[in-house]
Amino acid sequence: MQETLDHLAGDWRIYQLKGGHRFSADDVLTAWTAARVRPQAPEILDLGSGLGSVGLLTLWRLPEARLTGVEVQELSYNLALKTVAHNGLSERVRFLNQDLRAPLQLGKYQLVTGSPPYFPLGKATVSPHPQRAAARCELHGDVFDYCRVAAEHLDIGGRFVFVHAAGDARPEQAIDRAGLTLLSRQDVLFRSHLEPTVALFVCGFEGERRDPEPFVIRDSEGHWSEEYLKMREEMGTTGLRRSS
């Protein structure tokens, strides 16, 4: 399988598979949201880390923090280790190759992140590529598992930030079942005139819910929005064109 070494943030690079699972705008937006809600978090826990993109992007925005990631797929885990080594981050990052549903006992965190797969088995086509299949479909846990494990490791006053399908009712059910409180939901519009396909969720043990306006990536004519360009600048990506 051919690997590529691609830009992640600033001067950091990430190893990915050509034809495999690759990080996306969903990951960047999740990390951006997480860094904003807990900018002083000393430790980050990233559940179902995959390639490490969400956790590492959050870490890039929090230069004093440390990251622990949990990833069950050995292929993605090994790519994440290569990324850590390439960027000289071994003193700030550890990845664990295990199922997040197993007992973790990793202590408490002010900031937990995650990007659960969006589709239950039987609701979407399962990719023949095992890495892509697990990133898309619930082969190793669902949003209920992510919320439960996040609650087990969340400090009082901490925040769990994750992304999920906008049309799925289960994220709010999972937050409630885990004993957490939904503090904000922000829908993401990939085109300003279209319905949202994903949403960003922030939850914790306490607080009042305040939902921001939807985040618009492109306008109806396909031009990047100002808020998206600003977000990418904050996250270390510059030089985007204003239209595709």
Question: How many C-alpha atoms does 58 have within 13 Å on its Cβ side?
Answer: 39
Q: Does the pLDDT value for residue 131 go beyond 90?
A: no
pLDDT in tens, 180-227: 999 999 999 999 999 999 999 999 999 999 999 999 999 999 999 999
242 C-beta neighbours (distance < 10 Å), count: 12
Indicate the burial class of 136 (C-beta count within 10 angstroms; 0-12, 13-18, 19 or more): middle
What is the distance of C-alpha 228 from the center of its chain? 17
Q: Which fold has domain 3-234?
A: Rossmann fold (3.40.50)
Q: What is the pLDDT of residue 130?
A: 65
Domain boundaries, the chain: 3-234
Mode of pairing for the β-strands spanning 154-165 and 43-47: unpaired
- Position 53 confidence tier, pLDDT thresholds 50, 70, 90: very high
pTM of the full structure: 0.92
pLDDT in tens, 150-159: 999 999 999 9
Question: Cα(92)–Cα(63) distance, rounded to whole angstroms?
Answer: 10
